[in-house]
Amino acid sequence: MKTRLSPPEPQRFMRFWQIPAQFDGMRADLYLTYHLKKISRTKAQKFIQDGTFTKGGLPLAPAKRLFTNDNVELRVDAPDTHFDIAHVKVETVHEDQDILVVNKPPRLAIHPSGRYYHQTLTYWLKQKYGDNYPRPCHRIDRDTSGLVVCAKNKKAQTAIKTAFQQRGVRKLYIAIAQGHLKEQQIINEPLALQGSRGLVRIRMIVDPSGLPCETLVSPLFFDEKNNRTIVACEPKTGRQHQIRAHLAHIGHPIVGDKIYQMGDEYFNDMILGKTVKKPEHFRHALHAFMIEFPLGNESMKLLAPLPSDMQSLIPTELITHESLLLAVKNALTYSI
């Protein structure tokens, strides 16, 4: 008679964060549906009633209002499977005693969430460096590739996060946008969550009552054959989906963007597991190309070349790393 082994207990983790300003005053159950994206409000209410989602370590009521910088916690089963970090290509761009700057590949989230625990940069760092691992100081979307600054100690973490809060960090992204963007322009349009105003609650839309939002976009090259523009994007503010939403607003969504190029119905059907057509690219073609920030008495300026998947979208005769650097320098008066 064979002994029947019970399945292993699912791995549990606790995630801590602060409520962002755009959710100030929102009910706890509604906020959790936004944060986890794929759960219903009923499921969010159950999480709260079960003590899975708490505020400051204390139980919440579903109708409890959350406010900017409230400390909240989420305890859930790991939603994804363990992976070998040797199979995830995270390049080190710079490392010293205070910071680590990496070139994050697409399809790797920054922090654990209701959807990802193992498939995160945080988990990769923890596996590589142990318990005293470098902490990411800012976020980029899971499908956005490029530079992420991580702090190795509290002093560096405070300095870098303060620089972000005081707009002392200069970031430049490269996007491949649909259509022919002809002129440099500043997109100064406030953004807010779409919420119940559309099918996709996490979509950011232009809203006069939204948070101030400014992006400088500069066309670098036009790919006439594929009707695409390679665009340098410099966000002056740091809102959710800012570059993606702003480019879509002016009629030039990023190639492969499942929300802003493909639309609400497409994204909603995809989330529900319905059969949808294949997008132009497996992820939105957006890359965190350059970052400049103060650290002590110095100023750090780092670059990460375009990843191969984005290069494959561009005719090889149109752009090289060197010509991209020159175009950025000419368009934005950068000294690279």
Q: Length of the chain, please?
A: 336
**Given the DSSP bridges, would you call strands 228-235 and 214-223 parallel, antiparallel or unpaired?**
antiparallel
CB contact at 8 A, 313 and 285 = yes
**Chain Cα centroid distance, residue 252:** 19
Catalytic positions, written as ranges = 141
The conformational region for residue 85 under phi > 0 = left, psi -120 to 50 = alpha, else beta, is alpha
Q: Return the closest-CA partner of residue 122 out of 140, 135, 113, 131.
A: 135
d(Cα 238, Cα 260) in Å, to the nearest integer? 18
The b/e string for 32-47 (b: 16+ C-beta within 10 A; e otherwise) is bbbbbeebeeeebbeb
Cβ count within 10 A of residue 73: 16
CB contact at 8 A, 124 and 108 = yes
